[in-house]
Structure 1
């Protein structure tokens, strides 16, 4: 390999099929039985393809799956990559949704290359363009409020409140729950819509503490997959919370904020506090930070140095050096634009470096060349055999981490 004169991108993280498992999804559950290797590999290969089309305006759903990264001691993804087969007439599609971006990517595929899915002849259904309310009877509303009433460990009494809203949801986009207080809007829940869970429900929960204080919280769940509450208003024992429910339209308008409850804190018969809780459907998902929620640790890329491939694949943490987030990010940034060079020196005691992010990996052979005042560090991509040398300061910091006892 010759040293190049221009710069090239060496960073290219991809899923390694043997690190992933796939399971079929039906009746809101994943099957215990893993799908065959050929089928799983086809999922991963198709989801990587760049050719995509818009979601058809009408289609029928054929079969659904989830793909899970299985080296869970190294990285635990809370949600799988969603896989859904769709058809419009005789044309089959495979839709992929990554838990990282929440983007729904629709790939046209040939049915002959996916023989495990049967191209049914059921009529196509017009795709939902916005969430649609599911009518509930009074009996269903009464049953709802009787379910979640229990004394918890901290003597907190929880009571579900009516009304209980249920919606059929589109495959793409997001639901935002918006709290307006003193003219300021805050997003308290950001719900990415799912290809697999297409029915959602939400309602308020009243809680009474042993000190006499009360609170109101918002609960949202999809097909029985519960999600955490968000507290909206709290009141001391001298204040009562008054709620006024607003009717919601049968179909939520697109990109519009629709109020559904006004909450007031009443103290000495005067309004001490007022908040309006609204809902908004956006057909294109955009990342949004939720109000007053502590930032979760950023799930960025992580660099693992390991003596053998088996050490990484078996998640033998005691045999590996795991770089801090800042140093791992510095390596990935540098690998986005490098001058290719032939590796020099000898293989390090940590002969491999694997970058891992959201289940996607890239493994490099590691070479060290010690000089009088510094050590050069070369990385050679296992797939392409292309290699580059890390810059001096970055190589020094990485070498120091590898030398630590």
Structure 2
């Protein structure tokens, strides 16, 4: 039986979450916007409960939680939603990194075509930015700094606490894509200096198609976002459309469970990672960005091509060689390229990711498959 080891791409829905989603679909199926009967009132109550469950993960207020379809939409709203403010105040400079998810890089490139100036921070082989480079890049007209917390391909953890400190006396809005860390590795993203946090439910054992954008108030004022599409007053007018109550309720419960169990989950994940690394060291494996998130390991073995290894692992383990969102592209990973890795190392890069649900990683079988390719 194949063991699923691609949790950075997506996670299964927890049974208790699935049960709640089913209940909200079949039994309590009201529209949260219907205020004239008990079905709508119950739906609204479920949404507000979930809003609080999401907010609690990072110490936000539930009124600061906006539900979206996932981190891609949240990233687009956070970035494109600042356009009017930036243009009106002559603050058309953005700082981001070269290793962001495409749902951050592409909206920023769109603004760049509209006359915005963008600074792309470098990363070395560690996968981390240099906060001093960020400080040097700041200008009076900098409107937005967008830096992910944990990279989806390598697991590198950006120094968000240091970034917050660097921006302590600057007015730029700070956006953090926390898709890979929210609830699972909460360190630093509860910092009140972070103005905007993007999250995907399906990275946290909730269904696909639900996520959030958290908009923290600064001096009692939310970030000045304008909606990127129109059609209703839902979610305080920022994200129109009928609320997906079942998905929202499930997402809220998943957040509550993650908050209760985060430390235990991290300890189990770190144990699995240490065992896998010990096995791979005998094959002279090269590990990318160590230390990294306990939930993922990106490595290469000299002389082994990642595509060949994934074929060799069929029936043993489901793994990846990059981002699921760009898996249809045959161009080299922009993340690994930005780290300055050579073509051979990029071509041999394998990403293995797991969760607290993973009882064991088949290290012996993985190593045996690698040896067969050497």
What's the TM-score, normalizing by structure 1? 0.24
Which structure has the greater CA radius of gyration? 1
Higher strand share: 1
What is the TM-score when the length of structure 2 is the normalising length?
Answer: 0.25
**With CA pairs under 8 Å and 6+ residues apart, which has the higher RCO, 1 or 2?**
2
